[in-house]
């Protein structure tokens, strides 16, 4: 593995290897990286958890991190992403985490630049480390993904999480199904009954209504969305024993999930974030070792 | 001490212990922290000195610091402070310094989150590390605060410094009095004669006119404010022997203090900033040790 | 050397010493700094390469770096540069890299503040580390600067690179000549024939059209500028054997340089950026040692 831009390029064996290394980091293993590396995190879209999670993972390995302020860089002088990356290559950076609003921004980079590219999210495209941490969280819970029913609910067409997860979960043996308002369905096939899915799913993965990507809730009010597609206290009660709630966050309390469920017993929302650090440590280590 | 959000919660003994530890750091003592810690500084309001002072204190201990850009975080996606802090808890941060425009923002955090919370300033409320560095500077100067007369001059109602200091200095034996234009008096009792206070005070603590918190100088021009409430060269000449000038900075030259007095012999303004690093090292060490 | 604000203050011997130390760093030498230092990079204008280059150089020495966000500092509260620097002095910083829009901003600092000042660019004035890395790149290429013909092309009057280089290259024995549209000529003497310069120069140094410093291209369209003053594929073919192309970047592809020439065999554009890290390591080390 020389880069990580989408889940498609990972084999099932590679995914399992990442999960196992993440679990090793979680239980206290130290990195076996030998050389000293320097990375930078190029976030051209706002982020708290993904950026901070990478920053933490990098420091724990440990890897030196150069600060990159997207809002105060030469991008303002019209520099292209390719040229910015070439600059960072010349300066000596070994790997770059990039989040960028343009789908597949990485296509012009892979093969043409020396630093490893780790995709931190491209437009409505991919978000592979989020997908890996979701898989890790389910794997940790059930010991396997085989035959697990994962229902992804909400704004799937704008969600890089839905896309990345759809690819990978199925290959690992899970059944993935989607629930969403018709206008956010896109190329995905959806099921009709959210109410039935609540009772049969092992995992309910609620997606964020992305106010910044479309004008409000389309034809919905927050209340109407919550009523039709939100995880309410009433719906949570009908989930099957041992079933868990996930959300990539940030979440809109009382829109896609009831505020009191965010930290409930079934919720793995903050566990996902904790797992993100171990997954990112594993991914970075594996990529840098693949280049040693 | 598990957190530090206001001076109220500190006993006189705890304050003295912090001063003594700060003095130890100032004279070259090394930190006795054993574990490796990671912190972040969440400044939702602009700051140079407080933020840089914490950054320096953290690196000197040494503690790993994750960069947090408030202006480029998920707060922009409507995430609440509580949820942001829970994210940082999940990611594994041990302590957070927070500056936030909302008074008492910390009330919903203390007791509900794992990271230690160190208040770097809440609205017009508290600024305990500033208060501690002010106390440290006076203590360094006079060896005690007993019977010292401290006159705080200026925009006291909008000042978290005035508030934090009023609480603590009195408990340490100092006499605190206030001078300000009537419209900025708020709940404070003020004295009538600034001219008399100049001659009798051991400490003149000039506050910044906070242009960003109210529309200019209310009914005052800069010149009029300076004439009535500013520390002019003429007033400085009438201060008693050994009396000192303090200012939490940033200062408006020739508004609350004459430009040529900023670095004069009586001025402890930059000494306060130097002391701030030692005070913050002491506070952070004490809190992290209290959690070990 | 206690500070570095312009090329004027450097003797030829000092320049050579910096080049030799940079070459030592390039070939793997470690820093011989003994004490632990802390720096900050104060960039009041956007920058990717200069800021990242300093950040990398500092970490490689290694030196602790405090993050300074110009867009979120007390400058917003009206604090002057002098006062900000005095704050950073009080907090304990050993050296500051400063980029500021005001020409000669450093004049009020040198001699009045303790931290070493390294100029990262002042308005249209100086950019000494850029000049040193340009010199290093030419020296690396030809083993000397004696009798080398360097033609600087473009927006020379707004360019701190042209200014810094004009001073230094000549002293090192090179012949420097300028080509530019009449309106950007300023105090510089220019030559008439760009076409002749292309065939006789050892170095063509193309400058960026600084869209942010003047309204577009004055009387030029991008195409017209490119036709008259741009390095086109056709012009590159007429360059003499062994001659090289330089550009301080960021570059406007197909304005001052044809897109396909950016990474061509003659281009040293990314080499310049790589060299910048070694030059900055050498400058910082030399300044800090001069203060030990």
Show Cβ contacts of residue C147 under 8 Å, excluding neighbours closer than 6 positions.
C173, C174, C175
CA separation for the pair B157, B189 (Å, rounded): 11
pLDDT at A30: 96
* CATH classification of the domain holding C225: 3.40.50.1370
pTM reported for the whole predicted model: 0.94
Q: Which of A42, A73, A81 to mutate to test the interface with C (most CBs of C within 10 A)?
A: A73
Q: Are strands C116-122 and C175-179 parallel, antiparallel or unpaired?
A: unpaired
Q: How far is CA B28 from CA B34, B53, C65, C66, in A?
A: 18, 17, 21, 20
Q: Are residues C174 and C230 in the same domain?
A: yes
Q: Are residues A89 and A142 in the same domain?
A: no
Asked if B49's CB is within 8 angstroms of C92's CB, the reply is no
- Give the model's confidence band at C73: pLDDT under 50 very low, under 70 low, under 90 confident, else very high: low
Q: Average pLDDT, stretch C169-182?
A: 93
**Which secondary-structure segment (H or E) carries C98?**
strand C95-100
pLDDT at B166: 83
Asked if C59's CB is within 8 angstroms of A83's CB, the reply is no
- Give the model's confidence band at B11: pLDDT under 50 very low, under 70 low, under 90 confident, else very high: very high
pLDDT in tens, A192-231: 789 999 999 999 999 998 765 555 555 678 888 999 999 9
Q: Are residues A220 and A281 in the same domain?
A: no
Q: Average pLDDT, stretch B230-252?
A: 96
In the block, tokens 């509260």 appear at C77
Q: How far is CA B55 from CA A87, B115, C89, in A?
A: 28, 17, 14
Residue A2, in any domain of the structure = no
Residues of B in contact with C84 (CB under 8 A): 48
Asked if A277's CB is within 8 angstroms of B73's CB, the reply is no
Q: Are residues A168 and A107 in the same domain?
A: no
Q: Are residues C169 and C208 in the same domain?
A: yes
Instruction: Write b or e for each residue in A212-237: b if 16 or more Cβ atoms lie within 10 A of its Cβ, otherwise e.
Output: eeeeebeebebeebbeebbbbeebbe
Tokens of B155: 């925009």
Find the length of chain A: 292
Interface contact B242, partner A, CB < 8 A? no
Residues of B in contact with C78 (CB under 8 A): 211, 250, 252
CA separation for the pair A73, A60 (Å, rounded): 27
Would you call C158 exposed, middle or buried from its count of C-beta atoms within 10 A (0-12, 13-18, 19+)? buried
- Residue-averaged pLDDT of chain B: 92
Q: How far is B212 from chain C (nearest CA, A)?
A: 7
pLDDT in tens, C19-64: 999 999 999 999 999 999 999 999 998 888 899 999 999 999 999 9
Backbone angles phi, psi at B198, to 5 degrees: -55, -40
Question: Strands, E, within chain A: which ranges?
Answer: 38-43, 64-66, 95-100, 116-122, 149-153, 175-179, 203-206, 244-246
pLDDT at A66: 97
Show Cβ contacts of residue B221 under 8 Å, excluding neighbours closer than 6 positions.
none
- Residues 98-137, chain B: which have Cβ within 8 Å of C? none
CA separation for the pair C154, C222 (Å, rounded): 13
CA separation for the pair B109, B98 (Å, rounded): 11
CA separation for the pair B82, B183 (Å, rounded): 35
Backbone angles phi, psi at A94, to 5 degrees: -90, -30
Residue A49, in any domain of the structure = yes
Question: Alpha helices, DSSP H only, in B31-159?
Answer: 49-60, 81-91, 128-142
Neighbour subunits, C (≥3 Cβ pairs < 8 A): A, B
3-state secondary structure of C189: coil
Residue A25, in any domain of the structure = yes
Interface contact B273, partner C, CB < 8 A? yes
| Residue B81 reports pLDDT greater than 70 | yes
Q: Are residues C88 and C102 in the same domain?
A: yes
Q: Are residues B63 and B187 in the same domain?
A: no
Residue A29, in any domain of the structure = yes
Rg of chain C taking only CA atoms, in angstroms: 19
* Residues A162, A164, A166: CA angle, nearest 5 degrees: 65
Residues of C in contact with B43 (CB under 8 A): 72
- Give the model's confidence band at B214: pLDDT under 50 very low, under 70 low, under 90 confident, else very high: low
pLDDT in tens, A53-106: 999 999 999 999 999 988 766 666 678 899 999 999 999 999 999 999 999 999
- Give the model's confidence band at B235: pLDDT under 50 very low, under 70 low, under 90 confident, else very high: very high
Neighbours of C102 (CB within 10 A): 12
Residues of C in contact with B130 (CB under 8 A): none
Q: Are residues B267 and B138 in the same domain?
A: yes
pLDDT at B187: 78
Q: Are residues C132 and C261 in the same domain?
A: yes
Residue B2, in any domain of the structure = no
Interface contact B71, partner C, CB < 8 A? yes
Q: Are residues A37 and A162 in the same domain?
A: no
| Residue B150 reports pLDDT greater than 60 | yes
Would you call B116 exposed, middle or buried from its count of C-beta atoms within 10 A (0-12, 13-18, 19+)? buried
Asked if B252's CB is within 8 angstroms of C78's CB, the reply is yes
Residue C1, in any domain of the structure = no
Residue C2, in any domain of the structure = no
- To the nearest 10°, the Cα dihedral for C15, C19, C20, C25? 140
| Residue A246 reports pLDDT greater than 60 | yes
pLDDT at C78: 74
pLDDT at B112: 97
Asked if A270's CB is within 8 angstroms of B90's CB, the reply is yes
**Which secondary-structure segment (H or E) carries C39?**
strand C38-43
Q: How far is A28 from chain B (nearest CA, A)?
A: 13
Residues of C in contact with A75 (CB under 8 A): 48
pLDDT at A195: 95
Residue in C with minimal Cα distance to A63: C59
Domain housing C60:
7-126+273-290
| Residue B215 reports pLDDT greater than 80 | no
Residue C120, in any domain of the structure = yes
Per 3-state DSSP, what percentage of chain A is helix, strand, and coil (rounded to 5)? 45, 15, 40
In the block, tokens 């030399």 appear at C286
| Residue C194 reports pLDDT greater than 70 | yes
When divided into structural domains, chain A yields a total of 2
CA separation for the pair C231, C235 (Å, rounded): 6
Backbone angles phi, psi at B39, to 5 degrees: -130, 170
- Indicate if ipTM > 0.90: yes
Q: Are residues B286 and B238 in the same domain?
A: no
* Residues A29, C66, C59: CA angle, nearest 5 degrees: 60
Interface contact B78, partner C, CB < 8 A? no
Rg of chain B taking only CA atoms, in angstroms: 19
Q: Are residues A78 and A137 in the same domain?
A: no
Neighbour subunits, B (≥3 Cβ pairs < 8 A): A, C
């Amino acid at each position: 593995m020389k880069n990580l831009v989408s889940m498609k390029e990972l084999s099932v064996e590679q995914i399992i290897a990442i999960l196992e290394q993440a679990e090793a980091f979680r239980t206290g293993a130290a990195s076996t990286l030998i050389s000293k590396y320097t990375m930078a995190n190029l976030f051209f879209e706002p982020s708290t958890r993904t950026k901070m999670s990478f920053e933490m993972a990098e420091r724990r390995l440990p890897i030196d991190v150069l600060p990159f302020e997207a809002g105060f860089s030469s991008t303002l002088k019209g520099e292209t992403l390719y040229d910015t990356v070439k600059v960072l290559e010349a300066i000596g950076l070994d790997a770059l985490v990039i989040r960028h609003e343009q789908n597949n921004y990485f296509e012009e980079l892979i093969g043409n630049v020396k630093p490893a590219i780790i995709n931190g999210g491209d437009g409505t495209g991919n978000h592979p480390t989020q997908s890996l941490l979701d898989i890790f969280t389910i794997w940790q819970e059930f010991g396997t993904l085989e035959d697990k029913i994962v229902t992804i609910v909400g704004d799937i067409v704008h969600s890089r999480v839905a896309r990345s997860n759809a690819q990978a979960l199925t290959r690992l043996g899970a059944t993935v199904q989607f629930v969403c308002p018709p206008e956010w369905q896109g190329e995905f096939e959806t099921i009709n009954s959210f109410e039935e899915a609540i009772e049969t799913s092992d995992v309910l993965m609620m997606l964020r209504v992305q106010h910044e990507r479309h004008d409000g809730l389309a034809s919905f009010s927050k209340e109407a969305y919550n009523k039709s597609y939100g995880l309410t206290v009433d719906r949570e009660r009908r989930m099957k024993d041992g079933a868990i709630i996930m959300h990539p966050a940030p979440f809109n309390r009382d829109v896609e999930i009831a505020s009191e469920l965010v930290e409930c017993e079934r919720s793995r929302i903050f566990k996902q974030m904790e797992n993100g650090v171990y997954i990112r440590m594993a991914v970075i280590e594996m990529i840098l070792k693949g280049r040693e």
